[in-house]
Amino acid sequence: MTTPAVSALVANSISLIRREQHPSGSYPACPSYPTYRYCWFRDGSFIADAMSRAGEVASAEAFFGWCTRVLTTRSDRIAALAGAGPGSPRVYLPTRYELDGGESVTPWANFQVDGYGTWLRVLVDHCARHRRPVAPYSAALNLTVDYLNAVGTLPCYDWWEEFPEQRHTSTLAAVSSGLKAALSSEALTSDRRGAAVATSGEIDRLVAADTRRHGRLGKWLGSDVADGSLLACLTSYGTLAVDDPVAERTVAAIRDSLVREGVYRYAGDTFYGGGEWINLTAWLGWYEVLRGDSSNARRRLDWIASQADGGLLPEQVTGRAQRPEHIAHWERTWGAVATPLLWSHAMFLTLATACR
């Protein structure tokens, strides 16, 4: 049974995301936190997915329109990357954009590809869910496939803007899932299908070989470290069936090392002391819904609702931080924990929708 606190936060989350969506269609990661007054393809795609699931079709499609404009205005850059040979200079697409779609001049850990795969998956799922045509986005979809075929298996920054020398499992899962989504649509041109099949197949083989070594998914290829982002591989990206033994062992490792009430990003995290993240907690709850564990899923939902302050959810909760001695450093550097984080509200909405 949904509690009044959960119902109120669902309504507030939808209203907040609607209100903060930029006229261009982009979603700011956090409107009140200067470092996050930008739009990421990854965060924005998960926000659009939540709004789509909540029936907010116009909001999701405004974001897809923004993605389309961002990509089509960079078609020459994508074409150059797609045609670049080994050792050629490469200028990658950013991960963080100004809300109007421009490129930020502020330095950032910019080479991340997970968001581009995620937007394809979310776009195609939305169009199937609401019986909407993919055709208006076909140019951007095809450009994204070109980009992912060119760079989708390279080492890059992970979800957390860290460890750029690694090939991260959740990033590879995003790329493979996005390419498969494009392949399932009528919008992908025939001349791109072979490359998309080859790239997604290569990724699937890499991940499968890695799980054979470790018995479960790891933070990056060759690692057996647990990371909260791996929960997306079992839900949003569909890398593994939820009852696959590898999935079960992955979640067991996350529960053993990263879960109190909420979910930590990874062991030893020092960002704002390494607290419990709202969005990752919602992902664990979503996995539990899919496994038929409604009792624990609702417990996650209620815990998230209890973390809202005036109807606003933070990025993370630091009351049980792993390394509390680091909190003051980040507060001096960037201010208090980002609140409201639209990604937190989005994943809460996704879990609330799944728990219905």
Report, as residue numbers or ranges, the catalytic residues. 158, 161, 315
Token pair 């624990």: residue: 296
- Measured CA distances, 118 to 58, 141, 161, 214, 349 (Å): 19, 12, 16, 26, 18
For the chain, the 3-state helix, strand and coil shares in percent, each to the nearest 5, are 60, 5, 40
Residue count of the chain: 356
88, burial (CB in 10 Å: exposed 0-12, middle 13-18, buried 19+) = exposed
Peptide bond preceding 340: is omega within 30 degrees of 0, i.e. cis? yes
Does residue 90 contact residue 146 with C-beta atoms inside 8 Å?
no
**Residues with Cβ within 8 Å of residue 10, at least 6 apart in sequence:** 54, 348, 349, 352
Amino acid identity, position 55: G
The residue among 212, 197, 207 whose CA lies nearest residue 167 is: 207
Euclidean distance between CA atoms 341 and 344, whole angstroms: 5
Query: What are the tokens at 69?
Result: 């404009």
Closest listed residue to residue 41, CA positions, set 103, 121, 100, 95: 95
d(CA 94, CA 108): 9
Gap between the Cα atoms of 41 and 143, Å rounded: 15
Chain centroid offset of residue 291 CA: 21
> What is d(CA 185, CA 48) in angstroms, rounded to the nearest whole number?
19
**Residues 133/141/19/261 CA torsion (nearest 10 deg):** 110
